[in-house]
């Protein structure tokens, strides 16, 4: 039990660090770098699931989303991409 506890604690501290770093990056609108940082560190799935909609909300180019994506999220990302292109076409 103590081993699992320790591992969880370690995960939580790194998660907090990652969240803080990414929040700072988002503030400075350096989201690409934030995403790269998140790729380098072992990021729990939960955090990725939180980050993807966050990046979508911030209207970041789609390639950033693709960096965050894994096989499960590809469908969602495709949907996002098509919506984005449609909205761009309407503006013209």
36-74 tens-digit pLDDT: 555 555 555 556 556 665 655 555 444 444 445 454 445
What are the Cα distances from residue 68, in Å, to 8, 14, 63? Answer: 23, 18, 9
Q: Determine the pLDDT at residue 27.
A: 59
Global confidence as pTM: 0.21
Q: Determine the pLDDT at residue 3.
A: 53
What are the Cα distances from residue 44, in Å, to 19, 26, 47? Answer: 11, 19, 6
Binned at pLDDT 50, 70 and 90, residue 1 comes out as: very low
Q: Determine the pLDDT at residue 51.
A: 62
Q: Determine the pLDDT at residue 72.
A: 46
């Amino acid at each position: 039990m103590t081993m699992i506890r320790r591992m969880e604690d370690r995960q939580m501290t790194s998660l907090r660090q990652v969240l803080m770093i990414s929040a700072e990056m988002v503030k400075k609108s350096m989201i690409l770098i934030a995403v790269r940082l998140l790729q380098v560190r072992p990021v729990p799935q939960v955090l990725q699931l939180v980050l993807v909609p966050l990046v979508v909300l911030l209207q970041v180019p789609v390639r950033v989303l693709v960096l965050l994506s894994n096989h499960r999220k590809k469908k969602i990302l495709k949907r996002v991409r098509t919506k984005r292109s449609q909205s761009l076409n309407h503006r013209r």
